[in-house]
Structure 1
């Protein structure tokens, strides 16, 4: 059964994780509500990310360039490349995200969800969680 994680304007449905694939991949569906965004540009130290558009249009800022991801489009983000994402449209957008190898798992998102439900998140705590899981924040 897929695991659902609610981060407010972002919802994740984990389909496979490092635990179920022996570390091969993390695979999840992400739905971005209108105006949702990853507030902190970052890069990954030890995995690559492939995004496949399922519905709507999300915008991915990869290595300083904006890429609109629509249905059937893909974006590949090599480890070490700074990126972020947003939904600038008035409709939800969803995509399939695959991290390879699978080293993140759902726990990172669960910790962030817990932090976000406590009101205004503490930026220092967000940074600490990101770094512990191998996401390196970069100043915008």
Structure 2
């Protein structure tokens, strides 16, 4: 793992600090999120818990039915299987430290970046295929009440 590698997936930047995939342990990466950036769709992790800690800026983070605006020093955790998502609706770039246990690894983000950065309209089927290989499932859109 190259600690200076920055993986750019669209407008997002991911810099791995600890890649835990070799040992099946915890992974840690820094996420840089410009204002209004395209973000991953709400999703769940079959095999991973996630901890999201804001270092700079503000991030709106949702876990299941709870949504909070996180500022520096604030955090949320996502239990395995919970639907979560995030966005930067502020006016400045946000940075967060993300911990996954066990880790999905930098290779996941490299594969996502290859799909997202391919040019043209996003190939959603390819993106879902990458997510599925790593145990991530996009959330189904909310259904209107009957």
Output the TM-score relative to the length of structure 1.
Answer: 0.92
Matched, 1:12 2:14: yes
- Contact kept, 8 Å, 1:17 with 1:23, in 2: the verdict is no
Corresponding residue of 1:116:
116
Structure 1 residue 19: deviation in Å?
4.0
2:107 is matched with which residue? 107
Q: Retained in 2: the 8 A contact 1:37–1:87?
A: no
5+ long unaligned stretches in structure 2:
142-146
Instruction: Give the unaligned 5+ runs of structure 1.
Output: none
Distance 1:73 1:123, change over 3 A: same
Q: Counterparts of 1:19 and 1:130 in 2: how far apart (Å)?
A: 16
Residues 59-83 of structure 1, C-alpha deviations (whole Å, 9 max, x = no match): 1121022111110011110001001
Cα distance between partner residues in 2 of 1:61 and 1:36: 16
User: In 2, Cα distance between the equivalents of 1:37 and 1:121?
Assistant: 11
111-120 vs 81-90, greater mean Cα deviation: 111-120
Aligned pairs, number: 138
Larger radius of gyration: 2
- 4+ runs deviating over 6 angstroms: none
User: TM-score, normalization: structure 2?
Assistant: 0.89
Give 1:96 deviation, angstroms. 0.2
